[in-house]
Amino acid sequence: AQSVTQLGSHVSVSEGALVLLRCNYSSSVPPYLFWYVQYPNQGLQLLLKYTSAATLVKGINGFEAEFKKSETSFHLTKPSAHMSDAAEYFCAVSPGNFGNEKLTFGTGTRLTIIP
């Protein structure tokens, strides 16, 4: 079975500092990996996705993630944090085969930005 582990349920960074949110996956087959963001009282918004095309994936709002097979990781980064980045972030994995749309999510990381 596939799974993802997010290290750190809460992360605080200063405005302008580097954002690093960690995600490790477990999968016996090449996975599809995703990062979603959730703002209070809202649904999930896709930040970026890895579907085996390129290992460095750029997403919206200045975020990017690098797929590292040797480390089974897919960490999310942003060079300079902005106050509007405060939200909860979820890493997710999908089997990637047609007909199976199930996403398995990590437990989430709440990002706080310190002014």
Partner 1 sequence: KAGVTQTPRYLIKTRGQQVTLSCSPISGHRSVSWYQQTPGQGLQFLFEYFSETQRNKGNFPGRFSGRQFSNSRSEMNVSTLELGDSALYLCASSGLNKDSYNEQFFGPGTRLTVL
- Which contiguous run of DSSP H or E holds residue 82? none
Of 12, 26, 107, 112, the residue at the interface with partner 1 (CB under 8 A) is: 107
Residue in 31, 23, 29 with CA at minimum distance from that of residue 6: 23
DSSP annotation of 99 reads T
Compare residues 5 and 77 and give the one whose CB is closer to partner 1: 5
59 makes contact with partner 1 (CB under 8 A): no
Q: Which two tokens stand for residue 10?
A: 């809460």
Q: Does 5 bind partner 1 (CB under 8 A)?
A: no
Q: Is 2 in the site for partner 1 (CB under 8 A)?
A: no
Q: Report if residue 103 touches partner 1, rule: CB under 8 A.
A: yes
Please choose, from the candidates 110, 101, 91, the residue with its C-alpha nearest in 3D space to the C-alpha of residue 4.
91
Q: Which of 5, 22, 32, 86 binds partner 1 (CB under 8 A)?
A: 32
Q: Which of 60, 87, 79 is nearest to 16 (CA)?
A: 79
Binding site for partner 1 (CB under 8 A): 32, 36, 41-46, 49, 51, 90, 92, 94, 96, 98-108
